[in-house]
Amino acid sequence: MHKIVLIPGDGIGPEVSAATRKIIEATGVAIDWYVEEAGAHVFEKTGELVPDSVYRAIDKYRIALKGPITTPVGTGFKSINVSLRQKYHLYANVRPVKSYPGMARNQSVDLVIFRENTEDLYAGREEQISPDEVHGIKVITRKASEDIARAAFQYARTNGRRQVTAVHKANIMKLADGLFLDAVRTVSKEYPEIDYNEVIVDNMCMQLVMYPEKYDVLVSENLYGDILSDLSAGLVGGLGLVPGANIGKDCAIFEAVHGSAPDIAGQGKANPIALTLSAAMMLEYLKEHTAASRIRNAVGQALKKKENLTPDLNGNGTTETLTEAIIHEL
Ligand code: NAI
Ligand code: MG
């Protein structure tokens, strides 16, 4: 019996996590869920965004499936998502982006993005110099850069991938991105069988839109990795389809790339596939390989029928119709 913390989150989080839980349960894998509330609705009730019980549960079970949590823009509290990644040192954010027939603008996208998850401009070090001047400090360390590089190369080796591309802006940020690149180059030497190359981030955005098939595994800093993830999601049919995992040494939190989607929350039209595929990554992590591949196949089959699809995929279906279709395919 696997013991897993389930954080439904807010916005569309509760809708897509309920759907995902149903789909996992349909595979027959035995799971004890420890449901923990966190997010805007908890704050309204208790004045706390993340109750201590959430941390206690993750401390104990070391694995969580998490829905999105809203973060206010400009003012207010620090992102809970970023806090969790930092607290549990979940240094590798892994996001596979693959085209499904009929969904994608480009049929040959098969990328895995490795985004450094603990530092960079997300370290939260901003200084008010004067009312009219703010400094945001970009933190890059050799250790974190080598760790994310090793995660990317090791993944490439284990999964028979041919190439790793480091994405950077070291032409401008010579010290910060220079250190990142230097660390990735050092690690690349441990993997002579994998092709290694480097692309500057702005060019990378154009390359991905025009020639995504040329790229395989990408490794980048936190901010560029965040942006490249959503850009790549756009290539394959949107954020409703792209899963993710935050992985540390002995703890992991699985969550989709997308956020709480306030524009569609509570309307029953959120696409549950991104979180469902994140749960498939979780099942791989738990060595439930058969259940994971059954889920991926069922998703692929369900996507073939237009009547199942949610509006983000140009369908007239709902979270429920798509969830039932996936369960039917299982
Ligand atoms: P978003 O990812 O929530 O939404 C962007 C667009 O994609 C929206 O039009 C939304 O309707 C659509 N979309 C996203 N997921 C979808 C799904 N499963 N099905 C159908 N359509 C979907 O990004 P946005 O609007 O920039 O952020 C909203 C909030 O989410 C913010 O407070 C942000 O801080 C938070 N956020 C949280 C994350 C997390 O918990 N890991 C990650 C990203 C954002
Ligand atoms: Mg993001």
Query: Is the Cβ–Cβ distance between 257 and 98 less than 8 Å?
Result: no
Query: Is the Cβ–Cβ distance between 280 and 295 less than 8 Å?
Result: yes
DSSP line for 271-319: --HHHHHHHHHHHHHTT-HHHHHHHHHHHHHHTT-GGG--GGGT-S--H
Question: What pLDDT is attached to residue 119?
Answer: 95
pLDDT tens digit sequence for 2-11: 999 999 999 9
Mean pLDDT of 72-90: 80
pLDDT tens digit sequence for 229-282: 999 999 999 999 999 999 999 999 999 999 999 999 999 999 999 999 999 999
Mean pLDDT of 33-57: 88
Higher pLDDT, 47 or 154: 154
Question: What pLDDT is attached to residue 41?
Answer: 85
DSSP line for 3-41: EEEEE--STTHHHHHHHHHHHHHHHT--EEEEE---SHH
pTM for this prediction: 0.95
Segments of the chain assigned E as strands: 2-7, 31-35, 63-66, 92-98, 110-116, 126-130, 133-136, 163-168, 195-200, 217-220, 245-247, 252-254
CA dist list (Å): 269 to 29, 31, 97, 263, 312: 27, 27, 22, 11, 8
Mean pLDDT of 101-108: 82
DSSP assignment letter at 267: T
**Lookup result for tokens 């990735």:** 184
CA of 85 to the centre of ligand 2 (A): 13
CA of 178 to the centre of ligand 1 (A): 32
Question: What pLDDT is attached to residue 196?
Answer: 98
Tell me the best of 258, 267, 313 to mutate to test the pocket of ligand 1, counting ligand atoms within 8 Å of each CB and taking the most.
258
Nearby residues for ligand 2 (ion, Cβ within 5 Å)? 226
Question: What pLDDT is attached to residue 167?
Answer: 98
Cβ-based neighbours of 178, under 8 Å, separated by 6 or more: 170
Chain centroid to Cα 218, Å, comes to 14
**Lookup result for tokens 């869920």:** 33
Question: What pLDDT is attached to residue 85?
Answer: 87
Question: What pLDDT is attached to residue 72?
Answer: 72
Q: Is 122 a catalytic residue?
A: yes
Out of 3.20.20.120, 3.40.718.10, 2.60.40.10, 2.170.150.20, the CATH code matching 105-235 is: 3.40.718.10
d(CA 278, CA 261): 17
Q: Is 226 a catalytic residue?
A: yes
Question: What pLDDT is attached to residue 43?
Answer: 83
Query: Is the Cβ–Cβ distance between 91 and 147 less than 8 Å?
Result: yes
Mean pLDDT of 130-152: 97
- CATH topology for the 1-104+237-330 domain: Isopropylmalate Dehydrogenase (3.40.718)
pLDDT tier for residue 293 given thresholds of 50, 70 and 90: very high
Question: What pLDDT is attached to residue 76?
Answer: 67
Nearest ligand to residue 260 Cα? 1
Query: Any residues with Cβ below 6 Å from ligand 1, and which?
Result: 12, 16, 68-71, 81, 239-240, 255, 258-264, 270-271, 274, 312
Q: Is 287 a catalytic residue?
A: no
Of 88, 74, 117, 87, nearest in space to 219 by CA: 117
Question: What pLDDT is attached to residue 6?
Answer: 98
d(CA 162, CA 195): 6
Nearest ligand to residue 228 Cα? 2
Determine the length of the chain.
330
Chain-wide mean pLDDT for the chain? 95
pLDDT tier for residue 102 given thresholds of 50, 70 and 90: confident
Mean pLDDT of 14-33: 97
Domain with CATH 3.40.718.10 in the chain: 1-104+237-330, 105-235
Question: What pLDDT is attached to residue 84?
Answer: 86
d(CA 306, CA 314): 8
CA angle 6, 217, 233 (to 5 degrees): 55
